[in-house]
């Protein structure tokens, strides 16, 4: 919940860098003591004034080189302003450059304690938080290996796990969520929503308009180091996207074409839902229910029966969910929900809604439900599936087993999709003869 107290305040803040053509020019300028200059001033930020209230989620948008990262580094205390005043109230946790704050020679576990010390948290308190950090990072035995052996994704996993588990008043995120794998991105978004519910202040940089509109309560637009506008996210995003060249957008989308899938016999779905049992659950973030039955696995296939992790927008897909009944269930219902990468549920269905009533299932039974659907043309991105088995009717239903973020499907498209999706539309244009008034 936001308040009137100010968490971050910038008053005419500027950051200037001196650029030299040759290293020797820096020495010459120092020896001449200002009598002759050999540098050019580069204004990473120029006279930026911005006030962010506690509990606000502020998005920073702008083209590459506009000063977004510099602004976050100033708030984090990594850089100091060249001119102007900056005030930050509260503990800051930051996900900025890859591995910032990590000592590559130390293990992940040691770096957890080092980061805690930097934030002023004593070792005993970090020890209490250690299990939660390691569990969220989910990097296995690598937590006890030197950080220099980590992949890019492991850096981000550990950095984000530390940042959200040190109870920050202010969280800074500089496009870090675009680096991790798709499952981790969805997991991070759920944590961000938790921080918002606790009234934390969040500043993040993003080039994703849907992410900004959905997540942010305010947005600021930087251009060549200057603050062009600040206010309602929908308004700022509209102004920013209108300023981006349409040719660049089309070119960027052309590079996101779907690769031709190569399939093996085990990648093919059986001809009928009863022919085989799905036994793999790619990811489990949250799982709950009375556990009278358990989901054994799920798979997503194209129309020809090839297992897919990437689909073209509007393509027909088949979703198969297998369930093992540990106890007798009289009115089983199997279904799924789909949400985008920013956590917005788009749609969902189940066997009952589709008019398919599953007969009572005895203890030990296994059944598989297959859904064939053709989603609308969705915007490019990845979409996660929550799958569930329930018991009862739509009016009175109990959750037996629910798995959040169980499967992620990437959607690609060669056509422009404005907003979240493109709906079928027929257009008719009639020309009229001019009639003078």
Q: Return the structure tokens found at 93.
A: 């946790």
The confidence score (pLDDT) of residue 246 equals 46
pLDDT confidence band for 414 (50 / 70 / 90): low
The confidence score (pLDDT) of residue 261 equals 42
Average pLDDT for 24-52: 80
The confidence score (pLDDT) of residue 368 equals 94
Query: Are 386 and 319 spatial neighbours (Cβ–Cβ below 8 Å)?
Result: no
Region of residue 91 (left: phi > 0; alpha: psi -120 to 50; beta: else)? beta
Q: Return the structure tokens found at 74.
A: 């100033």
Question: What does each C-alpha distance from 278 to 35, 79, 143, 360 come to in angstroms?
Answer: 77, 52, 32, 20
Phi, then psi, of 243 in degrees rounded to 5: -85, -10
Answer yes or no: is pLDDT of 177 > 90: no
The confidence score (pLDDT) of residue 260 equals 43
The confidence score (pLDDT) of residue 263 equals 44
The percent of residues in the chain predicted with pLDDT above 70, rounded, is: 85
The rounded distance, in Å, linking the Cα atoms of 46 and 63 is 16
The confidence score (pLDDT) of residue 179 equals 55
Phi, then psi, of 229 in degrees rounded to 5: -165, 160
Answer yes or no: is pLDDT of 23 > 60: yes
The confidence score (pLDDT) of residue 377 equals 79
pLDDT confidence band for 34 (50 / 70 / 90): low
The rounded distance, in Å, linking the Cα atoms of 231 and 272 is 53
What does pLDDT average to over the chain? 82
Q: What pTM value is reported for the model?
A: 0.61
Q: pLDDT higher for 2 or 278?
A: 278
The confidence score (pLDDT) of residue 426 equals 84
Query: Are 268 and 261 spatial neighbours (Cβ–Cβ below 8 Å)?
Result: no
Quote helix, strand, coil % in the chain, to nearest 5: 25, 35, 40
DSSP state of 355: T
The confidence score (pLDDT) of residue 284 equals 86
The confidence score (pLDDT) of residue 336 equals 94
The confidence score (pLDDT) of residue 245 equals 46
Does 265-421 match 6-254 at the fold level?
no
Residue ranges per structural domain of the chain: 6-254, 265-421
The pairing of strands 381-392 and 332-340 is antiparallel
Average pLDDT for 125-133: 89
Answer yes or no: is pLDDT of 178 > 70: no
Architecture of domain 265-421: Distorted Sandwich (2.70)
pLDDT confidence band for 14 (50 / 70 / 90): very high
The confidence score (pLDDT) of residue 361 equals 94
The rounded distance, in Å, linking the Cα atoms of 21 and 386 is 55
Nearest to 342 by CA among 217, 219, 238, 211: 211
Q: Return the structure tokens found at 253.
A: 């989308």
> What strand order describes the sheet that includes 366-373?
293-302, 317-325, 366-373
The rounded distance, in Å, linking the Cα atoms of 117 and 124 is 11
Question: What does each C-alpha distance from 141 to 146, 147, 154, 160, 180 come to in angstroms?
Answer: 11, 12, 12, 18, 18
Average pLDDT for 174-198: 77
Query: Are 385 and 418 spatial neighbours (Cβ–Cβ below 8 Å)?
Result: no
Answer yes or no: is pLDDT of 343 > 80: no
Q: In CATH, what class is 6-254?
A: alpha beta
The percent of residues in the chain predicted with pLDDT above 90, rounded, is: 33
Average pLDDT for 77-99: 84
Q: pLDDT higher for 102 or 261?
A: 102
Instruction: Give the dihedral sign, CA 28/33/37/40.
Output: positive
Answer yes or no: is pLDDT of 268 > 80: no
The confidence score (pLDDT) of residue 99 equals 53
Q: pLDDT higher for 238 or 72?
A: 72
Q: Return the structure tokens found at 393.
A: 């009717």
pLDDT tens readout for residues 213-228: 888 999 999 998 999 9
The confidence score (pLDDT) of residue 319 equals 94
The confidence score (pLDDT) of residue 21 equals 74
Range from 69-78, 119-128, 340-349 carrying the lowest mean pLDDT? 340-349
Answer yes or no: is pLDDT of 259 > 80: no
Greatest mean pLDDT among 92-96, 116-120, 230-234, 379-383: 230-234
Q: Which residues contact 239 (CB under 8 A, 6 or more apart)?
A: 221, 228, 229
Region of residue 289 (left: phi > 0; alpha: psi -120 to 50; beta: else)? left
Average pLDDT for 233-247: 70
């Amino acid at each position: 919940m936001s308040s009137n107290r100010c968490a971050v305040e910038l008053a005419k803040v500027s950051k200037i860098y001196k650029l030299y053509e040759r290293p020797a020019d820096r020495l010459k300028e120092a020896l001449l003591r200002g009598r002759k200059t050999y540098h050019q001033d580069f204004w990473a930020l120029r006279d930026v004034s911005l006030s962010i209230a506690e509990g606000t989620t502020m998005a920073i948008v702008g083209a590459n080189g506009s000063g977004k990262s510099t602004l976050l580094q100033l708030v984090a205390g990594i850089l100091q302003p060249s001119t102007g005043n900056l005030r930050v109230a509260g503990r800051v946790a930051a996900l900025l450059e890859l591995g910032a704050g990590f000592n590559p020679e130390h293990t992940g576990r040691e770096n957890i304690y080092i980061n805690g010390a930097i934030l002023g948290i004593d070792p005993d308190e970090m020890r209490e938080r250690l299990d939660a950090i390691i569990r969220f990072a989910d990097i296995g035995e690598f937590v006890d290996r030197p950080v220099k052996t980590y992949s890019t994704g492991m850096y981000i996993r550990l950095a984000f796990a530390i940042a959200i588990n040190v109870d920050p008043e202010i969280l800074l995120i500089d496009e870090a969520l675009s680096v991790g794998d798709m499952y981790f991105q969805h997991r991070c978004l759920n944590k961000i929503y938790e921080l918002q519910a606790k009234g934390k202040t969040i500043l993040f940089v993003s080039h994703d308009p849907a992410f900004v509109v959905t997540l942010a309560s305010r947005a600021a637009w930087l251009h060549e180091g200057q603050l062009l506008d600040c206010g309602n996210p929908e308004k700022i995003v509209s102004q920013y996207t209108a300023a981006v060249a349409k040719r660049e957008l089309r070119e960027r989308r052309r590079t996101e074409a779907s690769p031709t899938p190569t399939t093996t016999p085990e990648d093919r779905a059986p001809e009928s839902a009863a022919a085989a049992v799905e036994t793999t659950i790619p990811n489990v973030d949250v799982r709950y229910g009375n556990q009278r039955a358990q989901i054994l696995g799920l798979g997503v296939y194209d129309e020809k029966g090839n297992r897919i992790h990437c689909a073209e927008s509007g393509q027909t897909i088949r979703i198969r969910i297998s369930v093992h009944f540990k106890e007798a269930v009289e009115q089983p219902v199997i279904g799924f929900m789909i949400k985008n990468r920013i956590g917005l549920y788009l749609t969902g269905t189940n066997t009952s809604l589709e008019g398919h009533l599953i007969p009572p299932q005895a203890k030990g039974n296994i059944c598989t439900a297959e859904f064939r659907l053709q989603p609308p043309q969705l915007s490019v991105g990845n979409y996660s599936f929550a799958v569930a088995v329930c018991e009862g009717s739509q009016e009175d239903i109990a959750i037996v087993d629910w798995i959040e973020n169980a499967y992620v499907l990437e959607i690609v498209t060669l056509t422009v999709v404005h907003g979240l999706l493109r709906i079928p539309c027929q257009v008719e244009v009639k020309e009229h003869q001019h009639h003078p008034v």
